Structure formats: structure tokens, C-alpha cells
């Protein structure tokens, strides 16, 4: 029988070591993504990464968030050397890797996030450099963020490169690796206000590395909100729960207090309901705060001080009956129902 793809199987063995069913069209190796995710020093020995050398596709049975699959060229490009890749291309003839959309896919789902090369930590800034001082003054004077917080959260800035004139607020995962960052301009009139890396946001928990799941966890909207109340606080980077955070909450069930912006009453309740469903046996652990007035946490702190932020958060509660009726109508994003009940 003619085994399709046999001519390049040795490249796969060179990259991954042990190959199951070597010499057949359907082979298996240990998945490097699984190894990375589980933080293992060695391959996991499970051979979950399936490769069909005839159709030149691969697929890991275990990786699901995100799924890890695609063309063999991509796999080799990711884990092999340039030599491996060039040799593979000489056999396979077609460079799938460079075909449309692939680069974007890889950036979105595969490539690790790295802080901008040009980033300077505030702890390393040059006080004689006007541009450094400009960035620093933005945080201290305009955002009213303290030095302690700036150093503690390893905040930096860029004066050149793609993220020039932006404050960089990094996020670290539980292994201490960067998993995201927020790039906020400190110059007036610059668009976009925020420039963040392109990643699948479903995969990250902002600052997961410093969250204590045995203590009360606060959920807020943005990174600056989190810096306003930096006590075990996770910025959602939006108003909804991503899949990873949802999974971790369900597993660890910490006390949760949701503090969305005052314009987000609906989303606040929706989130409350969503998390309560995850906490089937202990729904009382979930509470939320409706902020008074129109200001978000960051504005409250800047205008009225830290004490007022704490006062507001102390008012965390379970929703009233009326809140719940409102909430139940919006589950499932039933906008019509919601608009209707809101008029009453
Ligand atoms: Zn895998």
C-alpha cells in the first residue's frame, strides 16, 4: 500500500520525538499545546495530537478552548525549525501556512502575547527625560494612580513603536506569563483610546496570576476600574463573562461581587444571574453593586477618593424582587421583553 505523506513523517518524528503508528497515514504525537497548558516539563504521554499525513491536517482531541487543529504546515511552522519547515514544504509542495487568513488565525489563537519591546517600566524610567515624565504625570495627576499601584502592577509605557504614547497595563496568568495588556493613550485626541493585542479574549482572565480564589473576587469592567479598587479584582474587559472565567468561577466558587458601570444595570443583573446559575448550591455567594450616580469606579475614586469607592462597594447586595423580575426577563438577551418591562 502506498502511504501518503510517508516522505515527511521523519520530520514530525524529529520535532516531536515519539510517534505512534509511524509509517501509517494516521499518526499520533504528544500535543505541545496540552503540555504548555498543563505546565508540564515533559510531553504528557497521551498522544492526543492526531495527524493525518495524507490530507496534511492535524487535530488535538483534548484542546478545546481554543481547539488546536489545522494544516500540518502550520504545526511544523509552530514547533519545528525553519529547516524542518523548508524541508516539509519541499515535500508537500504547497505552503498552506501563507494562505489567506492563516496569519491572523495564528495571532488570534496560537501566538503568545508579548509586551511591546519598547515598553519601559515606570520603575526604570528616566526622570530627566521629558517624555517619560509626561507618561508618569498622566498616571499620577490625571488618573490619580499612586506610585505603589504603578509599581505593584508593573505598569509601563512606550514612547516609540506601535504603542508609542501609551500606558501599558500588563496582565499575568497563573504561571507568571503575560497573557494580555491594555494600551491606553496618554495624549489627548489620539485614536483609538485603547490599543490592545489581538487575542481570543475567551481564553484569558486578566491578572489571573494575582487572584486569590479563596477570597472575595470583585468583577469590574475595565483595567483602570481594577486599579481603582485593586483588591482581588478582575477587569472583565467588557460587560460579560468569558468562557474561561465562567469555568473557573464554576469550579472554585469564590464569593463574587459584580461592580459594573452605572449605565449597565441590565448587564449587571444579567451577569449576576449567569454566575448564580454556575453556583447552583451556594447562590448567596454572588452579590452585586449598583453604583450611585453616573460615575464608574475609576471616576468615583478620582473625584471623591478611595473611601467613597469602598463605601459604594460595601453596599453590595442581592437583587430585590423587582430587580429579579427585571433580570429574569432579560436572560437570553430578550430585548423586546426587556424594553417592554422597562416601560412599565
Ligand atoms: Zn492538545
Asked if residue 151 is part of any domain, the answer here is yes
The pLDDT score that the predictor gives to residue 137 is 96
Distance 76 CA to ligand 1 centre (A): 15
Residue 118, φ and ψ in degrees, nearest 5: -80, 0
Neighbours of 287 (CB within 10 A): 20
Distance 211 CA to ligand 1 centre (A): 26
Percent of the chain with pLDDT over 90: 45
Distance 60 CA to ligand 1 centre (A): 5
Looking at every residue in the chain, the average pLDDT score rounds to: 85
Distance 277 CA to ligand 1 centre (A): 29
C-alpha 62: how far from chain center = 20
Distance 65 CA to ligand 1 centre (A): 10
Give me the domain span that covers residue 83.
6-109
Asked if residue 156 is part of any domain, the answer here is yes
Asked if residue 1 is part of any domain, the answer here is no
Question: Which of 109, 126, 150 represents a domain boundary (last residue)?
Answer: 109
The pLDDT score that the predictor gives to residue 134 is 97
Tell me what ipTM this predicted complex has: 0.98
Question: Which of 149, 175, 199 represents a domain boundary (last residue)?
Answer: 199
Distance 48 CA to ligand 1 centre (A): 6
Statement to judge: residues 117 and 69 lie in one domain? no
Statement to judge: residues 179 and 208 lie in one domain? no
Distance 128 CA to ligand 1 centre (A): 49
Distance 29 CA to ligand 1 centre (A): 10
| Number of domains observed in the structure of the chain | 3
Nearest Cα neighbor of 277 from 301, 298, 250, 303 is 250
Statement to judge: residues 218 and 336 lie in one domain? yes
Distance 42 CA to ligand 1 centre (A): 14
Statement to judge: residues 121 and 95 lie in one domain? no
Question: Which of 109, 124, 142 represents a domain boundary (last residue)?
Answer: 109
Rounded CA-CA distance 219/239 in Å is 9
Distance 292 CA to ligand 1 centre (A): 46
Statement to judge: residues 104 and 15 lie in one domain? yes
pLDDT digits (tens, 9 = 90+) for 147-167: 999 999 999 999 999 999 999
What's the CATH code of the domain at 189?
Answer: 3.90.980.10
Sheet of strand 49-52: strand arrangement: 26-29, 49-52, 57-64, 67-71
Spell out the per-residue pLDDT of the chain, length 344, in tens: 578 889 999 999 999 999 999 999 889 999 999 988 888 888 999 999 999 888 888 999 888 878 898 889 889 988 888 888 888 888 765 444 444 444 444 444 445 688 999 999 999 999 999 999 999 999 999 999 999 999 999 999 999 999 999 999 999 988 788 889 999 999 998 889 999 987 777 778 999 999 999 999 999 999 999 998 888 999 999 888 988 899 899 999 999 999 888 877 778 888 888 898 899 889 889 998 888 788 888 899 999 988 898 888 888 877 777 776 666 665 555 555 445 434 33
Distance 35 CA to ligand 1 centre (A): 7
The pLDDT score that the predictor gives to residue 15 is 93
Distance 46 CA to ligand 1 centre (A): 9
Asked if residue 268 is part of any domain, the answer here is yes
Distance 68 CA to ligand 1 centre (A): 6
Distance 41 CA to ligand 1 centre (A): 15
Distance 94 CA to ligand 1 centre (A): 25
Statement to judge: residues 204 and 342 lie in one domain? yes
Statement to judge: residues 220 and 295 lie in one domain? yes
What's the CATH code of the domain at 86?
Answer: 3.90.580
The pLDDT score that the predictor gives to residue 246 is 92
The pLDDT score that the predictor gives to residue 340 is 40
What's the CATH code of the domain at 256?
Answer: 3.40.1360.10
Distance 335 CA to ligand 1 centre (A): 39
The pLDDT score that the predictor gives to residue 90 is 81
Distance 49 CA to ligand 1 centre (A): 6
Distance 111 CA to ligand 1 centre (A): 15
Nearest Cα neighbor of 101 from 92, 91, 109, 93 is 109
- For residue 215, count CB atoms less than 10 angstroms from its CB and return exposed for 0-12, middle for 13-18, buried for 19 or more: exposed
Q: In the structure grid, which three cell numbers stand for residue 88, read together? A: 516539509
Neighbours of 71 (CB within 10 A): 19
Statement to judge: residues 85 and 131 lie in one domain? no
Asked if residue 313 is part of any domain, the answer here is yes
The pLDDT score that the predictor gives to residue 95 is 41
Distance 66 CA to ligand 1 centre (A): 9
Distance 206 CA to ligand 1 centre (A): 23
Distance 203 CA to ligand 1 centre (A): 15
Statement to judge: residues 205 and 240 lie in one domain? yes
Distance 51 CA to ligand 1 centre (A): 12
The pLDDT score that the predictor gives to residue 110 is 46
Statement to judge: residues 105 and 137 lie in one domain? no
Distance 6 CA to ligand 1 centre (A): 23
The pLDDT score that the predictor gives to residue 335 is 55
Statement to judge: residues 162 and 46 lie in one domain? no
Statement to judge: residues 67 and 167 lie in one domain? no
Distance 189 CA to ligand 1 centre (A): 44
Amino acid at each position: 500500500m502506498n502511504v501518503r505523506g510517508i516522505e515527511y513523517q521523519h520530520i514530525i518524528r524529529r520535532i516531536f520525538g515519539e510517534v505512534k503508528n509511524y509509517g501509517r497515514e494516521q499518526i499520533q504525537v504528544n500535543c505541545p499545546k496540552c503540555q504548555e497548558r498543563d505546565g508540564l516539563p515533559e510531553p504528557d504521554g497521551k498522544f492526543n495530537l492526531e495527524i493525518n499525513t495524507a490530507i496534511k491536517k492535524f487535530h488535538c482531541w483534548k484542546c478545546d478552548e481554543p481547539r488546536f487543529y489545522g494544516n500540518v504546515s502550520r504545526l511544523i511552522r509552530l514547533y519545528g525549525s525553519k529547516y524542518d519547515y523548508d524541508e516539509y514544504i519541499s515535500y508537500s509542495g504547497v505552503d498552506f501556512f501563507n494562505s489567506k487568513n492563516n496569519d491572523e488565525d495564528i495571532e488570534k489563537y496560537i501566538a503568545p502575547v508579548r509586551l511591546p519591546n519598547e515598553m519601559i517600566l515606570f520603575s526604570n524610567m528616566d526622570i530627566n527625560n521629558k517624555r517619560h515624565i509626561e507618561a508618569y504625570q498622566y498616571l499620577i495627576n490625571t488618573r490619580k494612580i499612586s506610585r505603589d499601584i504603578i509599581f505593584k502592577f508593573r505598569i509601563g509605557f512606550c514612547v516609540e513603536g506601535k504603542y508609542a504614547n501609551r500606558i501599558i497595563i500588563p496582565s499575568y496568568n497563573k504561571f507568571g506569563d503575560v497573557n494580555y495588556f491594555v494600551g491606553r493613550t496618554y495624549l489627548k485626541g489620539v485614536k483609538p483610546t485603547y490599543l490592545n493585542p489581538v487575542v481570543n479574549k475567551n481564553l484569558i482572565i486578566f491578572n489571573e496570576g494575582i487572584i486569590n480564589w479563596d477570597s472575595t473576587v470583585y468583577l469590574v469592567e475595565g483595567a483602570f476600574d481594577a486599579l481603582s479598587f485593586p483588591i482581588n479584582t478582575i477587569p472583565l474587559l467588557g460587560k460579560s463573562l468569558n468562557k474561561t472565567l465562567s469555568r473557573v468561577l464554576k469550579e472554585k466558587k469564590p464569593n463574587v461581587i459584580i461592580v459594573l458601570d452605572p449605565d449597565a444595570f441590565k448587564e449587571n443583573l444579567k451577569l449576576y444571574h449567569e454566575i448564580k446559575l454556575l453556583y447552583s448550591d451556594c447562590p448567596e455567594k454572588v452579590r452585586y453593586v449598583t453604583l450611585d450616580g453616573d460615575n464608574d469606579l475609576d471616576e468615583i475614586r478620582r473625584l471623591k477618593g478611595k473611601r467613597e469607592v469602598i463605601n459604594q462597594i460595601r453596599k453590595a447586595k442581592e437583587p430585590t424582587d423587582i430587580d429579579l423580575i427585571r433580570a429574569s426577563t432579560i436572560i437570553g438577551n430578550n430585548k423586546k421583553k426587556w424594553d417592554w418591562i422597562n416601560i412599565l
